[in-house]
Amino acid sequence: MKITFSVNEMPQSIEIDDENTPLLWVIRDMLDLKGTKFGCGKAACGACTLHVDGEAVRSCSYPAKLVEGKKVTTIEGLGSEEHPHPVQQAWVEEVVPQCGYCQPGFMMATAALLDKIPEPTDNDIDQNIINVCRCATYYRMRKAIHRAAVIKKNTTQPVNSESDG
């Protein structure tokens, strides 16, 4: 079956034989975007988190066919070294990653959280950021999430005032 959607703003049209193919393998193996990780394949760890129409989903358990006509964003499209997303900038400033394998999933989950709750409390973070990090970088992640909220607030305001003026 054919699926047409966009990934990181680029239109994609792909053919899958098995309609149960998880989105994760389409992204990783067919489109060769390796930033989205496989950890468990059972929606239990969050390593494969990406955005579908702005919502964080665990792509290992999200059938690719459901993505028809939708917008997918992966870590590669979240931001770049030149234009980092506030979450990535905060992650760099707090030097969060250790092995790094879980980190894209956490950053995607955090970016989606900040869209819903721009200034999350510790409790908001505890309830919403439920991915697994075996290196247990949670302590710095929490700091980075709060920092990202501040960066996001400070960077979005000037844009608003510009458009106001």
Interface residues with other proteins (CB under 8 A) are 17-18, 20-22, 25, 29, 32-42, 44-45, 47, 74-76, 79-81, 84, 88, 91-92, 95-104, 107, 122, 125-127, 129-142
Task: Burial-class residue 112 by CB neighbours within 10 Å (0-12, 13-18, 19+).
Answer: buried
Q: Which of 125, 111, 126, 130 is nearest to 51 (CA)?
A: 111
From the CB of 162, what's the least distance to other proteins, in Å? 27
Q: Which of 97, 89, 129, 131 is nearest to 113 (CA)?
A: 129
For ligand FES, the closer of residues 118 and 134 by Cβ is 134
From the CB of 56, what's the least distance to ligand FES, in Å? 11
8 A C-beta contact, residue 23 and residue 67: yes
For ligand FES, the closer of residues 69 and 100 by Cβ is 100
Positions that interact with ligand FES (CB under 6 A) = 38-41, 43-48, 58, 60, 97-103, 133-135, 137
